[in-house]
Amino acid sequence: MFTGIDSSMPNVKRKFTLSQTMAAQKRNAGIASAMVARASLNDEELKMHVYKKTLQALIYPISSTTPHNFQIWTATSPTYCYECEGLLWGIARQGVRCTECGVKTHEKCKDLLNADCLSRAAEKSSKHGADDKAHSIIMTMKDRMKTREKNKPEIFEAIRKVFSVDKKSHAGHMKAVKQSVLDGTSKWSAKLAITVICAQGLIAKDKSGTSDPYVTVQVGKTKKRTKTVLQDLNPVWNEKFYFECHNASDRIKVRVWDEDDDFKSRLMSKFNRESDDFLGQAIIEVRTLSGEMDVWYNLEKRTDKSAVSGAIRLHISVEIKGEEKVAPYHVQYTCLHENLFHYLCEEAGGSVKLPVVKGDDAWKVYFDDTAQEIVDEFAMRYGIESIYQAMTHFSCLSSKYMCAGVPAVMSTLLANINAYYAHTTSNTAVSASDRFAASNFGKEKFVKLLDQVHNSVRIDLSMYRNNFPASNPEKLQDLKSTVDLLTSITFFRMKVQELSSPPRASQVVKDCVKACMKSTYQFLYENCDELYQREFQTDATEKEQQQQAQQKESGQGQDGQDGGPSIKSLDFWPKLISLIISVIEEDKNSYTLVLNQFPQELHVGQVSAELMWTLFSVDMKYALEEHEQHKLCKSIDYMNLLFKVKWLYNKYVADVPPYKGTIPEYPGWFEPFVLQWLGENDDVSLEYLHSAYDRDKKDGFQQTAEHSLFSASVVDVFTQLNQCFDVIKKLECPDPNILNCYMRRFAKTINKVLLAYADLVRRDFPRLTSREKTACILMNNIQQLRVQLEKVFESMGGNDLDPEAANILKELQSKLSGVLDELASMFANSLELKIQGSVQELGALLAKVKGGGNVALSKPSDRQNVSHEADMVLRPLMDLLDGSLSLYAQMCEKTVLKRLLKELWRIVIHSLEKSVVLPPLTDPGSNLPLLLSNTAKIEDVSRLFLNHVSGKQQVSFLELSKEAEKNLTPRQCAVLDMALDTIKQYFHAGGSGLKKTFLDKSPELQSLRYALSLYTQTTDTLIKTFVNTQTSQDQPSSEDPVGEISIQVDLFTHPGTGEHKVTVKVVAANDLKWQTTGMFRPFVEVNLVGPHLSDKRRKHTTKSKSNNWSPKYNETFHFILGNEEDPDAYELHFCVKDYCFAREDRLLGVAVMQLRDIVEQGSCACWCALGKRVQLDETGWTILRILSQRSNDEVAKEFVKLKSECRGQEDVVV
- Our CA dihedral for 602, 608, 613, 618, rounded to 10 degrees, sits at 100
Q: What's the pLDDT tens digit per position in 1004-1033?
A: 888 888 877 877 788 899 999 999 999 888
Residue 975 pLDDT > 80 = yes
The mean predicted confidence, pLDDT, of the chain is 82
Q: What's the pLDDT tens digit per position in 721-755?
A: 899 999 999 988 999 999 999 999 999 999 999 99
Contact in structure between 83 and 112 (CB atoms under 8 Å) = yes
Quick one: pLDDT band at residue 128, thresholds 50, 70, 90?
A: low
Q: What's the pLDDT tens digit per position in 1075-1094?
A: 888 888 999 999 999 999 88
Section 945-951 average pLDDT: 43
Amino acid at 210: T
CA distance 527 to 519: 12
From 100-114, 336-350, 1133-1147, 1177-1191, the region with the lowest mean pLDDT = 100-114
**What H or E segment, with its residue span, contains residue 293?**
strand 291-298
Residues facing 87 on adjacent strands: 80
Q: What is the DSSP letter of 350?
A: T
Quick one: pLDDT band at residue 320, thresholds 50, 70, 90?
A: confident
Section 969-986 average pLDDT: 83
Residue 323 pLDDT > 50 = yes
Of 1072 and 1179, the structure prediction assigns the larger pLDDT to 1072
Find, among 636, 635, 634, 666, the residue nearest to 648 by Cα: 666
The three-state secondary structure class of 916 is helix
Contact in structure between 577 and 620 (CB atoms under 8 Å) = no
DSSP H helical segments within 152-257, as ranges?
A: 153-162, 167-183
The three-state secondary structure class of 185 is coil
Q: What's the pLDDT tens digit per position in 758-787?
A: 999 999 888 888 888 888 889 999 998 999
Distance (Å) of CA 536 to CA 14, 18, 528, 580 = 7, 14, 11, 13
pLDDT of residue 1150: 95
CA distance 406 to 400: 7
Residue 692 pLDDT > 60 = yes
Q: Which residues contact 629 (CB under 8 A, 6 or more apart)?
A: none
pLDDT of residue 216: 94
Amino acid at 821: D
Find, among 476, 478, 475, the residue nearest to 486 by Cα: 478
Distance (Å) of CA 903 to CA 709, 825, 993 = 20, 6, 12
From 77-86, 700-709, 753-762, 985-994, the region with the lowest mean pLDDT = 77-86
Three-state SS string over 240-258 comes to EEEEEECCCCCEEEEEEEE
CA distance 126 to 133: 8
Residue 280 pLDDT > 50 = yes
**What H or E segment, with its residue span, contains residue 543?**
helix 540-555
pLDDT of residue 922: 45
Contact in structure between 340 and 374 (CB atoms under 8 Å) = yes
Quick one: pLDDT band at residue 335, thresholds 50, 70, 90?
A: very high
CA distance 824 to 830: 10
pLDDT of residue 521: 93
Considering just the CA atoms, what is the radius of gyration of the chain in Å? Answer: 63
Q: What's the pLDDT tens digit per position in 355-386?
A: 988 888 888 899 998 999 999 988 888 878 88
Q: What's the pLDDT tens digit per position in 1138-1160?
A: 988 777 888 999 999 999 889 88
Residues facing 294 on adjacent strands: 315
Angle at 1173 between CA 1167 and CA 1177, to 5 degrees: 110
CA distance 618 to 622: 6
Section 668-677 average pLDDT: 92
pLDDT of residue 941: 41
- The phi, psi pair for 1046, rounded to 5°, reads -105, 125
Provide the CA 157 distance to its chain's centre, in angstroms. Answer: 72
Section 582-607 average pLDDT: 87
Relative to beta strand 1060-1070, strand 1112-1122 is antiparallel
For 1005, how many CA atoms within 13 A lie in the half-sphere containing its CB? 20
Quick one: pLDDT band at residue 549, thresholds 50, 70, 90?
A: low
- Our CA dihedral for 785, 788, 789, 792, rounded to 10 degrees, sits at -160
Residues facing 219 on adjacent strands: 222, 252
CA distance 647 to 1037: 82
CA distance 724 to 683: 13
CA distance 270 to 278: 17
Distance (Å) of CA 540 to CA 4, 532, 543, 548, 905 = 25, 13, 5, 12, 76
Handedness of CA 338, 340, 344, 346 (dihedral sign): positive
Residue 879 pLDDT > 90 = no
pLDDT of residue 356: 87
Residue 519 pLDDT > 90 = yes
pLDDT of residue 758: 92
Amino acid at 613: W
Q: Which residues contact 949 (CB under 8 A, 6 or more apart)?
A: 955, 959, 960, 1204, 1206
Distance (Å) of CA 603 to CA 474, 480, 507, 615, 1084 = 21, 13, 12, 18, 110
Q: What's the pLDDT tens digit per position in 553-575?
A: 444 444 444 568 888 889 999 99
Find, among 40, 37, 875, the residue nearest to 445 by Cα: 37
Section 916-937 average pLDDT: 44
pLDDT of residue 1027: 92
Q: Which residues contact 1192 (CB under 8 A, 6 or more apart)?
A: none
Find, among 701, 527, 1162, 1185, the residue nearest to 920 by Cα: 1185
785-792 long-range contacts (CB < 8 A, ≥24 apart) are 785/714, 785/717, 785/754, 785/757, 785/758, 785/816, 786/813, 786/816, 786/817, 786/820, 786/895, 788/714, 788/718, 789/750, 789/754, 789/813, 789/816, 792/718, 792/721, 792/722, 792/725, 792/750
Quick one: pLDDT band at residue 146, thresholds 50, 70, 90?
A: confident
**What H or E segment, with its residue span, contains residue 1060?**
strand 1060-1070
Distance (Å) of CA 703 to CA 692, 721, 722, 1065 = 14, 21, 21, 79
Section 139-151 average pLDDT: 82
Q: Give the other-Cβ count within 10 Å of 456's Cβ.
A: 19
Residue 210 pLDDT > 80 = yes
Residue 942 pLDDT > 90 = no
Section 894-905 average pLDDT: 87
Contact in structure between 1141 and 1164 (CB atoms under 8 Å) = no
Contact in structure between 1088 and 1049 (CB atoms under 8 Å) = no
3-state helix, strand, coil in the chain (%, to 5): 55, 15, 30
Residue 957 pLDDT > 60 = no
Contact in structure between 1168 and 1044 (CB atoms under 8 Å) = yes
Provide the CA 481 distance to its chain's centre, in angstroms. Answer: 37
Residue 911 pLDDT > 70 = yes
**What H or E segment, with its residue span, contains residue 1049?**
strand 1044-1053
For 656, how many CA atoms within 13 A lie in the half-sphere containing its CB? 25
Find, among 250, 226, 381, the residue nearest to 314 by Cα: 226
Q: In what order do the strands lie in the sheet with 190-200?
A: 236-245, 190-200, 311-320, 291-298
Amino acid at 1109: W
Specify the length of the chain in residues: 1214
DSSP H helical segments within 796-831, as ranges?
A: 803-829
Handedness of CA 866, 872, 878, 882 (dihedral sign): positive
pLDDT of residue 1099: 93
